[in-house]
């Protein structure tokens, strides 16, 4: 995911707020104990998610793809006082770690953590969301987007991660996985129901605002 020049990347980190201590601990433990730690949002992207959430000041957030809970904590920083974040993940093996850090962050009462298949769970959710973060199995980005769209309020946001796919989206000969990302990005670009901007932050954040 080295899309940005490493010196610039380092400079950006140094001129962004540091991670809260609980996130430093989670970052460290994820890298020590969990497979594929690159899936973690990490310092800079985490601060971006936190800032976006604070700007939106959502009452309800839906996150698809919890992993170890880093991005959920970042997003929850912008919740209204009585707000709630619902996060869904299929990997029960990471539940204990995520719940531990939700507790450490003082967010256990505001985070509704659901283990299961998101495609089966999303239709059962009756809330209207101000912000949705899609960061799960990339082949289903379009499926999740379609499933949550009517659950997002007018003026609400959907953010999707990894839409630059380590820069492969500009390759002329795309492999199967890259083609799925390209098709999703094209789908959003042609969706007249939304405004969208793709930010080259880490592996790409596609921000969509529902008209």
Residue 1 lies in a domain: no
Number of domains in the chain: 1
Distances in whole angstroms, Cα of residue 127 to Cα of each of 123, 130, 132, 151, 169: 10, 10, 12, 7, 34
Work out the average pLDDT over 12-37: 95
pLDDT of residue 1: 55
Q: What is the CATH number of the domain that holds 41?
A: 3.40.50.150
**Count of Cβ atoms closer than 10 Å to residue 28 Cβ:** 11
Residue 150 lies in a domain: yes
Task: Give the separation between CA 176 and CA 104, rounded to whole angstroms.
Answer: 40
- pTM greater than the 0.85 cutoff: yes
Write out pLDDT tens, residues 101-116: 999 999 999 999 999 9
Q: Check if the beta carbon of residue 133 is closer than 8 Å to that of residue 110.
A: no
Q: Check if the beta carbon of residue 160 is closer than 8 Å to that of residue 206.
A: yes
Could you tell me the residue range of the domain that residue 38 belongs to?
A: 6-210
Residue 189 lies in a domain: yes
Residue 97 lies in a domain: yes
Residue 135 lies in a domain: yes
pLDDT of residue 2: 60
């Amino acid at each position: 995911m080295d899309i940005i020049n490493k010196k610039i990347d380092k400079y950006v980190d140094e001129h962004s707020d540091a991670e809260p201590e609980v996130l430093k601990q989670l970052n460290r433990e994820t890298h020590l104990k969990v497979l594929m730690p690159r899936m973690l949002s990490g310092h800079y992207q985490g601060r971006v998610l936190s800032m976006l959430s604070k700007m939106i000041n959502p009452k309800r957030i839906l996150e698809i793809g919890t992993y170890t809970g880093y991005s959920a904590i970042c997003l929850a920083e912008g919740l209204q006082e009585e707000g709630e974040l619902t996060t869904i993940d299929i990997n029960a093996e990471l539940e204990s770690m995520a719940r531990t850090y939700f507790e450490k962050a003082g967010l256990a009462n505001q985070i509704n953590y659901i283990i299961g298949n998101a495609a089966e769970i999303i239709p059962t959710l009756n809330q209207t969301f101000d912000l949705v973060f899609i960061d799960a199995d990339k082949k289903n980005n379009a499926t999740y987007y379609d499933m949550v769209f009517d659950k997002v309020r007018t003026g609400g946001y959907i953010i999707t991660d990894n839409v630059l796919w380590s820069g492969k989206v500009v390759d002329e000969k795309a492999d199967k996985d890259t083609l799925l990302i390209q098709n999703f990005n094209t789908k959003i670009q042609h969706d007249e129901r939304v405004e969208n901007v793709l930010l080259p932050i880490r592996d790409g954040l596609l921000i969509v605002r529902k008209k």
